[in-house]
Structures are given as structure tokens and as C-alpha cells.
Amino acid sequence: MTEKPMATRWQDGLGMVKACDEAGVRLFVVKQNRRNATLQLLKKAIDDKRFGRIYSVAINVFWTRPQEYYDSAKWRGTWEFDGGAFMNQASHYIDLLDWLVGPIESVMAYTSTLARNIEVEDSGVATIRWRNGALGTVNVTMLTYPKNLEGSITILGEKGTVRIGGVAVNEIQHWEFAESSPDDERAKDASYQTTSVYGFGHPLYYDNVIKNLRGEAVAETDGREGLRSLEVLIAMYLSARDGRKINLPLDY
């Protein structure tokens, strides 16, 4: 079982999956945000086609990480062991792009190290085009003053509009659809208070791992599922480095 990111290089991620396949063992990648009550309801609304056609998606991660955070361990802020604001802090939000909206067609991104003394980026922006035609943005910074402000996703569709915000997608701030559903009442009670950006999904995630090992459930995020968000992250970094659009899937 590995936390995010499962790797900082694409080939390393592929190697992890191959090694576990050859050894006959399971590989799990922690994606606990998927278990948040707010995102579970959003996922169900999308699966139930309540949005109709999805037009636009916006993800914001406006957090703060002071220099002391990066100085606290030698691996922090390095390309080799950490990755930047996209890969580390916003990794769970990048995961939502594919898990919620679907396969991505192409990515364009900019990254910058504006205020921290680190190898990697402390801020980044990206534009996304999905295969279903939807367009989206990802706006990430670790320089928010004076503390974590927002971790949000907004989805605008043909028949629905939803914004889940708060400091870590813990508040349903707007929930409106053309056709009603019993889930609309559940949405009123799904928001929760959190003292950190981690949420409360870890116990539920571990429960799925245990049930999978017992043969009672299918793994929610195995190694191959983990590769999906890693591929998007690598595409963002390639785009930022080379100044060009990166089409998915990557060539490998």
C-alpha cells in the first residue's frame, strides 16, 4: 500500500504495477478523498447523468506551505522524492479529474516557483480538455496568505450546477439540478467540519483494502487506477517543461 503520489516518474509507476503483478501481490494507492460523503454524492450525480452533458469544470487548491514545512525534511520540495504543488498537495484533486469527469484528451500547464526555496513548483495552473468535450481548469498554489483557504471543485452541466468547497471539498456550497432526486436531501447534510485537509476517508479506504484481501470487495484504487492520476500529473509537468499541449494517453 502506497500513499500518493505512487511515484514521481511515469516509468517508476509502471514498474511498480509490473513488479506486483509478477510477484502475485496486490498494489493499493491511497485516494481517501474519493470516500468523502460530499464527493460520493457528486460521483453518484454524475453516474446518474443528472448533469446531462458536462460543460465546464474548475478545481482550486489554495493552500499554504511555509518554508519551514519544506525545510523540515530533506526529501520535501525535491523532484526525486516529492514533486511540487501539483503532484504532492493537489494530487487528490488531480485524481478527481478522471475519476469524476472521465478520460482526458489533452493537458496544457504552467508551473512556477514564486516564493519558496525548493526545486519544484509552489504554484501551477492547467487547462484540461476531456474526451467528452468538457473543458476545465486547475489552479493550485501553496502561497495563500495566511493559511489554507480553499480546496474546491465546481461542475457546470447542461442540467445541473454543483460547487463543493471548504478548505478540502468538505462543504456542498451549491447543489442544483433540473430534475429532483432523493439525493438532494442527502446533499443538505453531507457537509462536515474538518480540522485538516485530509478529511475522514482513510478508515473507509483501509476497510476496502481489508475486504479486498478477504475476497469480499473489489479494490477501489489499485495500482492501475493509481496510474490514471499519475499519467495526468506527468502530462502537466511535460507541458509546463516543454511549453506545449500534451495528448493522453502518454506514449509508453
Given the C-alpha cell 482550486, which residue does it identify?
60
Give the pLDDT score at 75. 95
Give the pLDDT score at 201. 81
Give the pLDDT score at 196. 66
Mean pLDDT, each 10-residue run in order, the chain (252 residues): 92 97 96 92 98 98 98 96 96 96 98 98 98 98 97 98 96 98 96 75 91 94 95 98 97 71
Give the pLDDT score at 13. 96
Give the pLDDT score at 252. 61
Q: Which long-range contacts (CB under 8 A, 24 or more apart) does 141-147 make?
A: 141/61, 141/62, 141/63, 141/85, 142/63, 142/64, 142/65, 142/85, 142/89, 142/116, 143/64, 143/114, 143/115, 143/116, 144/62, 144/63, 144/64, 145/64, 146/64, 147/64
d(CA 55, CA 230): 24
Give the pLDDT score at 213. 94
Give the pLDDT score at 193. 82
d(CA 65, CA 45): 33
| Total Cβ atoms within 10 A of residue 56 | 13
Give the pLDDT score at 251. 81
| Alpha helices per DSSP H over 72-159 | 91-96
| Alpha helices per DSSP H over the chain | 10-23, 37-47, 67-71, 91-96, 183-189, 202-213, 223-242
DSSP E strands, the chain: 54-62, 104-112, 123-130, 135-141, 150-157, 160-165, 171-177, 246-247
Report residue 50 CA to chain centroid gap: 22
Q: Kindly report the pTM of this predicted structure.
A: 0.94
Q: In order of start, what are the domains of the chain with their CATH numbers?
A: 10-180+201-244 (3.30.360.10)
What cell was used for 55? Answer: 460543460
Beta strand pairing call for 246-247 and 150-157: unpaired
